[in-house]
Amino acid sequence: MSIHMITMPKWGLSMQQGQVNGWLKSIGDTVAKGDEVLDVESDKIASGVECAFNGTLRRQVAQEGDTLPVGALLGVVADEQEADADIDAAVEAFQRDFVPLAEDSADAGPQPKKAQIGGRTIRYLKIGDGGMPAVLIHGFGGDLNNWLFNHADLAAHRTVYALDLPGHGESTKSVESGSADELADSVIAFLDDRGIERAHFVGHSMGSLVAMTVAAKAPQRVASLSLIAGAGLGNEINREYIDGFVSGNSRNTLKPHLTKLFADGSLVTRQLVEDIVKYKRLEGVGETLQKIAASAFKDGAQQRSYRDRIDRLAPRTLVIWGELDQIIPASHAQGLPGDIRVHVLPGKGHMVQMESASEVNRLLNDFFGA
């Protein structure tokens, strides 16, 4: 019997439920593995739910506007030959046996931890076990939740660490100069503290600049570089975005800039904006972001470029970009020296690891090697 259930996904450690925003496929439509079949909104972001099977959409169990717990039944994909009665029986059995995950359940998985490193508090998340570790470094104004669609898939074959850089997330909010060197030194100190001798480094936006600086400072620690919409590969950057993010401290002043992070601005949820507003209002955040921006993005231009030596920083390098990036132009991915793998994903924006998570995860896992 080939009856497959589409269920409410769990995006990130904190997601407990999601709201159905609408179906993208109709009953009777042929669907393939990787097709987005409906839109769901969590408290962090709205995104499409991908089908994991080939077949025909036979049931839309969840309806637009429904709010359902993680794991709840959304729809059914099956072969055309499957009898309606068998599908109805499978749905009935699923609904009868389904038990929502308790918020305090041990099955909620690993949770972020904090460590005192070099006089600073550094928050980090560790998922998976074994293999060459991967270290995920977020961008300017971000935190480890920027990787909420990537943690689990990347951890299927290895240990994965994601951390909040100084000045970000729940790490210490103060920095000295805010330079890429200072942030890279904090990452190297994290490696030392966690006993990580060597790792794959994955950086997003400013996190790419930090990852490349780690490679320049401590090449023996870097097994590979994966740069996603990376700063440090050209001069241009959206000055209006940087200035607006640094100065904004309310929903109305921040949302117009946050929508630029995605090709589809509707993916920015109210909760995502509120989370950024809360972060921006924490003591020390404004001064810290000003220092980092002044060091890395002075006068609307990137201040450090590794473009001419990117091929010499690490044994292997992968570059991923969203074609419609409004923060750092995707043209920075072109014409790089040496044997660099480059993938520009059509129709996606600066947060390509969220907008096209499955494809980015596939590219990263293929690049790392199982």
State which residues of the chain have pLDDT below 50: 106
- Contacts of the segment 75-79: beta carbons below 8 A, 24+ positions apart: 75/5, 75/6, 75/23, 75/37, 75/38, 76/3, 76/4, 76/5, 76/6, 77/3, 77/4, 77/6, 77/31, 77/37, 77/51, 77/53, 78/2, 78/3, 78/4, 79/2, 79/55
| Distances, alpha carbon 240 to alpha carbons 254, 275, 298, in Å | 12, 21, 12
Place domain 110-368 in its CATH homologous superfamily.
Answer: Alpha/Beta hydrolase fold, catalytic domain (3.40.50.1820)
Strand ranges of the sheet holding 341-345, from the earlier edge strand across to the other edge? 113-117, 120-127, 160-163, 134-137, 199-204, 222-228, 317-322, 341-345
Running DSSP on this structure, what letter comes out for residue 169?
T
- CA–CA dist 300, 302 (Å, integer): 7
Q: What's the CA gap between 37 and 21, in Å, rounded?
A: 11
Instruction: Specify the length of the chain in residues.
Output: 370
The secondary structure of residue 173, as a DSSP letter, is -
Give Cβ neighbours of residue 277 (< 8 Å, ≥ 6 apart): 249, 250, 251, 254
Q: What is the domain class of 3-97 according to CATH?
A: mainly beta
| pLDDT at 171 (0 to 100) | 96
Rounded to 5°, angle at Cα 55 from 49 and 60: 50
Whether 337 contacts 359, CB under 8 Å: no
At residue 102, the pLDDT reads: 67
pLDDT in tens, 220-272: 999 999 999 999 999 999 999 999 999 999 999 999 999 999 999 888 888 88
Contact status, residue 80 vs residue 56, Cβ threshold 8 Å: yes
Residue 170 DSSP code? T
pLDDT tens-place string over residues 8-51 = 988 776 678 889 999 999 999 999 988 889 989 887 778 888 88
Buried b (16+ CB within 10 A) or exposed e, 183-205: bbbbbbbbbeebebeebbbbbbb
Q: What is the rounded CA–CA span in Å between residue 41 and residue 326?
A: 23
pLDDT at 9: 86
CA distance 26 to 349: 27
Domain map (residue ranges) of the chain: 3-97, 110-368
Distances (CA, A) of 189 to 40, 115, 211: 39, 11, 13
Q: How high is the pLDDT of residue 106?
A: 47
End-to-end CA separation in angstroms for the chain = 31
The reported pTM is 0.84
Q: Are 3-97 and 110-368 the same fold in CATH?
A: no
